[in-house]
Chains A and B, each alone.
Chain A
Amino acid sequence: QVQLQVSGPGLVRPSETLSLTCTVSGASVRSPTHYWSWIRQSPGKGLEWIGYVYYTGSTNYNPSLKSRVTISVDLSTNQFSLNLSSMTTADTAVYFCARDLFSSGWKGLDSWGQGTLVTVSP
């Protein structure tokens, strides 16, 4: 059974960088058919796709966040991470990590972490 666990701070100061890690168990981040993704959810913006990383290190980001986002993968620890710089109150949201299936096309986020609330406040 695949499990994803998000870890990281719940409070970030404005202008700082958010760093979150997703630990994967029951599956390998080396899977050739899965992409490891970050999604956030806020009352104002709903669900927003942030981006993904592939086990090769290849990434794809939402253009609305691209200048501030870095997603990376660590094969040795079976983890992947999100860094979001220059945080503002607009970035307050629940952040989820998830696994995206690619098999002759994108088939959806089939496993999700529990989500972590990140609040941006002085």
Chain B
Amino acid sequence: IQMTQSPSSVSASVGDRVTITCRASQGISTWLVWYQQKPGEAPKLLVSTASSLQSGVPSRFSGGGSGTDFTLTISSLQPEDFATYFCQQTNMFPFTFGPGTKVDIK
């Protein structure tokens, strides 16, 4: 299953609302996970099963979608949110990742 993300990068300001899109090449129900990765660090799990926020993840993050189209929204961007975001499908092996969306400072 091929995963694509758009945009590949976005420049935004603190307080902005940012939405990232992830698309699967075939239906994956809600078996979609989102990660955040900062430079030099391992990815961090943010959202599982498309919309379930991990414990400790701020409520400004939200995930949605099902089938082939998914979104990750940051309602009010904070300085610590500047990072790269990846989606991953966990519906079928081999699990595959999207290419990432880099969120940087405008």
**Interface residues, chain A, with chain B CB atoms under 8 Å away:** 46-49, 60, 62-64, 96, 98, 101, 105-110, 112-115
Contacts and interface: CB of A to CB of B under 8 A. Distances in A.
B3 to A, nearest CB: 10
B42 A60 contact: no
- Interface SS, B side: loop
A105 B90 contact: yes
A106 B28 CA distance: 12
26 contacts: A46-B100, A47-B86, A47-B88, A49-B95, A49-B96, A49-B97, A60-B93, A63-B94, A105-B31, A105-B90, A106-B90, A106-B91, A107-B52, A107-B90, A108-B35, A108-B48, A108-B90, A109-B33, A109-B35, A109-B43, A109-B88, A110-B45, A110-B54, A112-B44, A114-B41, A115-B42
Interface in B1-59: 31, 33, 35, 41-45, 48-49, 52, 54
Q: How large is the interface on B (under 10, 10 to 19, 20 to 34, 35 or more residues)?
A: 20 to 34
Interface of B: 31, 33, 35, 41-45, 48-49, 52, 54, 86, 88, 90-91, 93-100
- Interface SS, A side: strand
B33 A108 contact: yes
A64 B91 CA distance: 18
